[in-house]
């Protein structure tokens, strides 16, 4: 694991963090939609 800050690639870390947070939010919304869709059939 290299430290990207020593290489001066702080922008890559920021972009990756933003990208992960966006994909995490999208994935969370998809899971909530699927769960609400399947809940009536489970109960």
Write down the domain spans for the chain: 4-42
Residue 4 parent element (H or E): helix 4-7
Residue 43 pLDDT: 63
Torsion of CA 9, 15, 20, 21, to 10 degrees: 130
User: Tens digits of per-residue pLDDT, 1-41?
Assistant: 556 556 667 788 888 899 999 999 999 999 999 988 888 87
Residue 12 pLDDT: 83
Residue 28 pLDDT: 95
Strand, coil or helix: 15: helix
Q: Judge if pTM exceeds 0.95.
A: no
Task: At 28, list the tokens.
Answer: 């969370």
Residue 13 pLDDT: 82
**Residue in this structure with the two tokens 């919304």, named with its chain if needed:** 29
Residue 9 pLDDT: 74
């Amino acid at each position: 694991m290299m430290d990207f800050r020593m290489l001066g690639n702080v922008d890559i870390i920021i972009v990756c963090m933003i990208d992960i947070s966006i994909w995490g939010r999208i994935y969370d919304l998809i899971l909530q939609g699927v769960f609400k869709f399947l809940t009536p059939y489970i109960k």
